[in-house]
Amino acid sequence: MLSLQSFLDDLYDRYRDLNEGRLASYIPELAKADKGCFGISVVTTDGRCFEAGEVHQPFTIQSISKVFAYGLALEDHGRDELFEKVGVEPTGDPFNSLIRLDEDSKRPFNPMINAGAIATTSLIDGTDPTDKLNRLLAMFEGYLGHNVVIDMSTFMSERSTGHRNRAMAHLMLNFDMIGHDINSALDLYFQQCSVMVDCHDLATMAATLANQGVQPVTKVQAISGDYVRDLLSVMYTCGMYNRAGEWAYRVGIPAKSGVSGGIIAVVPGKAGIATFSPLIDANGNSIRGLRVFEELSQAYGLHLFDLSMGRCVFTKALE
């Protein structure tokens, strides 16, 4: 069998010319992305990396931020209180759907869809909007091991065009699912989506989750180990929008995607894996990324329920 590095190089070569899909354009700034950009990164729980392609090209994190903001809200409020406010049920609907908010539920379905993410972010503690933002940025820095920058153009682009997210916040306010200061909550949500990362950063963040919340290089505890299972559970059931079921079936590891083209996935105890390619499908998932993960899962027996290979093939490949 090829070494993991050669396998990643081969995946990069085979999929770099796959030009299916489109750039997200409902946030105008995202439509400026380079369609050809493509990276694959694996970071182990002891900080080693195996990478191919443009792993240092910066982009905005978008929905992948929802996982980490959920972690901060869990630390601020605890499992029971947060569960009262944001559920953990997959919807099978698009990530920006409003439909299920107008039912007699008392909370958004889960923190990985926009409604649940806006409600989650609205719960982040802080004395004022700046304090909340600083706490959010400090949280991201814990995972990344370096300073975090927000892309102002993307933030402003989404802030001025995000009418659907604004409508969701108003609907949630109407149903008392969210506090009154929805403009600050939306700003904070748009800011968290505009945090700049690269593919290597994403794999490091995923590796931190694989490592019970301890950043593999800096050894900083980025999130309390107690809550990692909560994040991985909602990633597994809800992380890939309305493709979450098919992903769980075909790839079988907790994951999260974002419309800018990133995907992260966690192999608990072993590694974080990330791909970046901005061409997305109708569900908002990166097409090259989906193919890469299906092949990696198949080749290395990553599926959590694939007991035939266990995790030993992957463990050997990481040696």
**Annotated active-site positions, please?**
63, 66, 189, 241, 259
How far, CA to CA in Å, does 177 sit from each of 90, 168, 282?
Answer: 18, 11, 29
Is 9 or 26 the residue whose CB approaches ligand GLN more closely? 26
Beta carbon of residue 58, minimum distance to ligand GLN (angstroms, whole number): 16
Q: Which residues sit at the interface with ligand GLN, rule CB under 6 A?
A: 62-63, 95-96, 114, 158, 165, 193, 258-259, 284
Angstrom distance (rounded) from CA 194 to CA 20: 25
**DSSP letters of 78-145?**
HHHHHHHHS------S-TT--GGGGSS-SS-S-TTSHHHHHHHHHT---SSHHHHHHHHHHHHHHHHS
| Cβ proximity to ligand GLN, 4 vs 177, nearer residue | 177
Rounded-to-integer distance, Cα 240 and Cα 309, Å: 25
State which residue has the least CB distance to ligand GLN: 63
Task: Using CB atoms within 10 Å of the CB of residue 218, give its burial: 0 to 12 exposed, 13 to 18 middle, 19+ buried.
Answer: middle
Q: What is the DSSP string of 222-261?
A: -S-HHHHHHHHHHHHHHTTGGGHHHHHHHT-S-EEE-TTS
- Cα gap 121→146, rounded to integer Å: 22
